[in-house]
Chains A and B, each alone.
Chain A
Amino acid sequence: MHRTIEITVAPTGEVTIEATGFTGGACERATAEIEKALGVVRSRKKKPEYFAMTSNRMGMSNRQQT
């Protein structure tokens, strides 16, 4: 899956950043520099896919322990 960042700038000065195709925390690392350059983060919502990837990683870790 292609990894893309879509940034929408509204006339109100509000910016929305959506990261697509990343796994786990990689998306936050990809957008952090843009967020820091632009201004103040008002909110950050993790999508279900974020938790799915985290959950998969934990499952793999448990299997390796057994």
Chain B
Amino acid sequence: MSHVTAIAVEIKDLDALDAACAELKCNLRRGQTSYKWFGMSVGDYPLPAGFTEDMLGKCEHVINLPGCEYEIGVARNPNNPKTYTLLFDFWGPGQRLQSHFGNGLQKLVQLYGVHKISSDLKRRGIPFVRKQAGANITIQAAVK
């Protein structure tokens, strides 16, 4: 073993996000530019970095969970337009989003990372296996 790197996942690849959505039984609706939420900020929680109140409800794509009234907006990060921020309202009907995707949509972000890595390894022709270890998912790749 020669080095260990820790990385914070950024969402950049819609195909990997699509694959994560499929695994979580929800739908990525590309090109839908508004997502369903309460409709107004009541100022009880800080906004995501770089966003203002008038930007809420607007996005480039939407994640729809069948049977849930509220949706997740996939919006360009104003501070880094190469990445997306997931916008959602976790009050009222949005509690269903939290219960399905985990606190802060953690399961969705985790599976995005897994599918992003998997597609990158496939493209490079590197064989790998995927394993579940508790809450973590591990990918072991054999490099020639």
Q: Which partner residue on chain B sits nearest A30 by CB separation? A: B143
Interface of B toward A, CB cutoff 8 Å: 1-10, 12-13, 83, 102, 106-107, 109-110, 113-114, 116-117, 120-121, 124, 133, 135-144
Contact of A47 among B4, B109, B133 (CB under 8 A): B4
Q: How far is the CA of A23 from the CA of B143 in the complex (A)?
A: 13
**A6-B7 in contact (CB<8A):** no
- Chain B nearest CB from A22 CB (Å) reads 5
Q: Does A17 contact B (CB under 8 A)?
A: yes
Known: A13-B110, A27-B2. 15 other contacts (CB 8 A): A6-B138, A6-B139, A9-B117, A9-B137, A14-B9, A15-B6, A15-B9, A19-B2, A31-B5, A37-B13, A38-B116, A40-B8, A42-B7, A44-B4, A46-B3
Interface of A toward B, CB cutoff 8 Å: 2-24, 27-28, 30-31, 33-35, 37-47, 49-50, 53
Given contacts A3-B143, A6-B138, contact A47 B5 (CB under 8 A): no
- Chain B nearest CB from A23 CB (Å) reads 7
**A41-B144 in contact (CB<8A):** no
